[in-house]
Amino acid sequence: MNEIELLKRRLQREKNIRQQAEKIAEEKSRELYLKGEELKNALQAESEAKKKIEALYQEVERLSRIDPLTELSNRRSFSTDALRLLQLAIRHKKKLSCAMLDIDFFKKVNDTYGHDFGDKVLIAVAKASRNQLRKTDLLARFGGEEFCFLFAETDLNGAALIAERIRLAISKLEFHFEKIRFSVTVSIGVSGLLDSNDNMENMIKRSDTSLYKAKENGRNRIVIWEN
């Protein structure tokens, strides 16, 4: 075998080796690409799962702070937000007023038209009340037919004016049950922050006491706390 033939064979072997190496490299490259795609998809799925978990957590947190029927703040949420407003009012020596509202003869509504229709009344009262408030005011359903308000930077007279707007707005609501039409009224008690030693619990108690005076005096009215 001459040198030329040997050279040709050697070149062919090198070519074969190179082709095999390229094939192996191509297979490895495709394998790495597929693994990379799998990893990317896995990371994307993990990211989406984290987002869903975070969204679910936020929704659970939101639901834990609202009354499911009226979508107002619940008592727990109100307590947290009210404490913040109270501390700000005391720190900056601002006025702060509280009001308690109760729907008059609401038990009669439930007994006459049923609890499902009573729920519709509660929703309408909540909406009418909320529409009269400013962004800085707080409103919560305290349970049953009772609602609590907190009016930031508002004295007793200002709070009484807001309460009157709320009372009038609710009195204008008209409910239809089959062929029957009726309206509801509310009683409201109002109190204000006394001094830096006052607290939210006592403000609510004073508003509640005023509310029951409104009930005793004939309902469908506002009573302001007097020392």
Catalytic residues: 145
End-to-end CA distance of the chain: give it in Å, rounded: 125
One-letter-per-residue 3-state SS of the chain: CCHHHHHHHHHHHHHHHHHHHHHHHHHHHHHHHHHHHHHHHHHHHHHHHHHHHHHHHHHHHHHCCECCCCCCECHHHHHHHHHHHHHHHHHCCCCEEEEEEEECCHHHHHHHHCHHHHHHHHHHHHHHHHHCCCCCCEEEEEECCEEEEEEECCCHHHHHHHHHHHHHHHHCCCEEECCEEECCCEEEEEEECCCCCCCHHHHHHHHHHHHHHHHHCCCCCEEECCC
50: which residues sit within 8 A by CB, 6+ positions away?
none
